[in-house]
Amino acid sequence: MGGVAALAASGAMVLAACGDDNGGSDGGSGGGTGDGGGGEASTLEQLQEEGSITVGFAGEEPYSYQDENGELTGATIELHREVFSALGIDEVEGQLVEWDALIPGLNAGRFDAISAGMSILPERCAQADFGDPEIMYTTALLVPEGNPMDLHNMQDIQEADATLAVMSGAIEQGYADEMGIQTQTVNSPQDGLDQVVNGRADVYALTGISLRAMAENNADAPVEVTDSFVAVVNGVEQVGAGATVFRQEDDALREAYNEELANIVDDPAEYERVLGPFGFTEAERPPEDITTEMLCEGELPQVDEGDDAAETTDS
């Protein structure tokens, strides 16, 4: 996928050991700076003074990842370059960690925000603060070529008693746990593909846009990606939206970010300009009636599990 021209080149990228949870900061400016008090500068003010922000990312294409030259890129990275540049923060650097270490690493001050298109979920909102929605999600399935088990949604996996690969800490793992589906956890999208190719899993679930990008990059792999669908779990349609994540004490940074973000998300042409080169379309642009507050409170629409919503596709 083509990249958007960066507004500012990233500095030297800091690559963290995935399992490192022990104290200290590896380049982030955080670690309890908060929004000031007693004359102490807020995180926003510190970042503006430094002209650089470090974001945590999990290496998932097309959200935030390193290209073949080791450069930090992706839809959320380019979105952040646009927004933070407007705030006077010209450089976006990255720290690579495993998915389920992103929020702990943020709260430990190892980086200043999370750039991974992370889904807004109540349990995550209890640990950190999410910005306004940036990306709408649907799920898809990666299956062996020909889809021999005829799997098209979570209910099909459940009924077939299929073995499902999920990325550790990702939203699809939560769906499977709620539905009692047997899972194998993997640490990266590529690991999930390998599980299916090697016959260790029957199916791998992830966001549709991620699986399509991965299939395109592994054109020789004997797999296919199903149409995307809105997952239905226990009668509830899983409306999903991703956002940037901030520490709970960094209100000024989050509010300033949201104000600039609206200039892109509220404008279809701007949204297409920034995120379109990574495969994002109007279908992924958040509608006004989906808010971070409602998703943090778990306010999702009730539907009949046999409804067509369980098989809705995106474009």
The CA distance from 86 to 261, in Å, is 10
Please determine, for residue 242, whether its predicted confidence score (pLDDT) is greater than 50: yes
pLDDT value, residue 237 = 82
pLDDT value, residue 41 = 82
- The angle subtended at Cα 189 by Cα 132 and Cα 204, nearest 5°, is 100
Could you give the 3-state DSSP secondary structure of residue 126?
coil
Cβ(286)–Cβ(265) under 8 Å? yes
pLDDT tens-digit profile of 166-219?
Answer: 998 888 999 999 999 999 999 988 999 999 999 999 999 998 888 998 999 999
pLDDT value, residue 66 = 95
The CA distance from 3 to 67, in Å, is 10
Tokens 């982030």 locate to: 28
- C-alpha radius of gyration, the chain, whole number: 19
The rounded percent of the chain whose pLDDT value lies above 70 is 83
The CA distance from 78 to 293, in Å, is 25
* Phi and psi, residue 257, nearest 5°: -60, -50
pLDDT tens-digit profile of 154-174?
Answer: 999 999 999 999 998 888 999
Residue 291, token pair as written in the block: 């808010």
When pLDDT is cut at 50, 70 and 90, the band that residue 271 belongs to is very high
pLDDT value, residue 299 = 79
Residue 111 or residue 308, greater confidence: 111
When pLDDT is cut at 50, 70 and 90, the band that residue 35 belongs to is low
pLDDT value, residue 300 = 65
pLDDT tens-digit profile of 96-106?
Answer: 999 999 999 99
pLDDT tens-digit profile of 275-288?
Answer: 999 989 888 899 88
Q: Which residues pair with 302 in a beta bridge?
A: 236
Please determine, for residue 236, whether its predicted confidence score (pLDDT) is greater than 90: no
Q: Quote the pTM value.
A: 0.70
Half-sphere exposure of 152 (CA within 13 A, CB side): 8
Domains in the chain, CATH or no CATH each? 14-135+241-294 (3.40.190.10), 139-229 (3.40.190.10)
DSSP state of 199: T
- The angle subtended at Cα 293 by Cα 289 and Cα 294, nearest 5°, is 60
